[in-house]
Amino acid sequence: MADTAIYVYCVLEADSIGGRARVPVGLAGGARPLCLPLGRRWWAVASEVPLSKYSPKQIETGLQNLAWVADIAVAHEAVVEHFAARRGATVVPMKLFTMFTSTARAVADLRAKRQVLSAALRRVRGCDEWGVRAVRAARAAVPAVRAAAPARSGADFLAAKKRERDEARAAVVGAAEAVESVFHLLAPLSRDSRRRTDYPESAATPPLLDAAFLVPAVRKARFRAAAKRAAAACRSAGVQLTLSGPWPAYNFVQPDPP
């Protein structure tokens, strides 16, 4: 029985694969990643990993350890980003723990999925993924307590309470409107956009906006400038907007959900 498996980081489309000298080491304990030929200009970036560390049982146990999963994710991402950064290259990132029992099995399976992978490559070719996240600014999370003269009557007290509620409601509405304007400003500058809304009920305070944008490289400067303007507008509404990227297009490998 084999004591190793083949771990696949991504599928690569490029004119050449270059040398292995500067390729990140990949998963701890595994061999340095190499490119397995899948066809003309197609490769699978993969490495041999020991089952003593990455067997199904070891992975199932490791998934309970957030630090272990984070280390795997960082190593995986480093390899994908290395190949995505190559001039003229396009990558389809694989999910964590995409593994096969042998090199032959990995090549055969990925070749069988050529139609699906070709569609994914067409979707993301020439683009990077950028993330935009918006949350209520810390100072806006709790309405400021304003100094006021003591209420002279019950009516004054009730009026002050109503004014506080109205101001808090207006702040929430203003933040929501600011976030919507961000999405509608940035979406037209991207080839595709995905917005996360499926937060579990247990989520304490989900972000106001958690979105990914598939941005053509030729629009990168315009997109970043628009995001910067949007961040400034959001600050006045008590919203903190964060832009991250560029990333490999993880959120756009699959087609739009129905």
pLDDT at 196: 83
Give the span between the Cα atoms of 26 and 92, in whole angstroms.
17
Rg, the chain, Cα only: 24
* Mean pLDDT confidence for 177-199: 84
Beta strand 239-247 with 192-195 is: unpaired
Q: Per the structure block, which two tokens stand in for 42?
A: 């197609």
Task: Tell me the domains of the chain and their CATH numbers.
Answer: 4-124 (3.30.70), 127-252 (3.30.70)
Task: Please count the residues of the chain.
Answer: 258
Give the span between the Cα atoms of 113 and 253, in whole angstroms.
13
What is the percent of the chain where pLDDT is above 90?
52
Burial of 218: CB neighbours in 10 Å, binned 0-12, 13-18, 19+: exposed
- Confidence category of residue 2, pLDDT binned at 50, 70, 90: confident
pLDDT at 141: 46
- Which H helix or E strand runs over 134? strand 127-136
- Which of 47-81 are b and which e, b meaning 16 or more Cβ less than 10 Å from the residue's Cβ? bbbbbeebeeeebeebeeeeeeeeebeebbbebbb
* Mean pLDDT confidence for 31-44: 92
Residue 51 near residue 5 (C-beta atoms within 8 A) = yes
DSSP 207: -
Q: Per the structure block, which two tokens stand in for 235?
A: 């600050």
* Mean pLDDT confidence for 35-49: 93
Task: Give residue 97's Cα distance to chain centre.
Answer: 17
- Which H helix or E strand runs over 195? strand 192-195
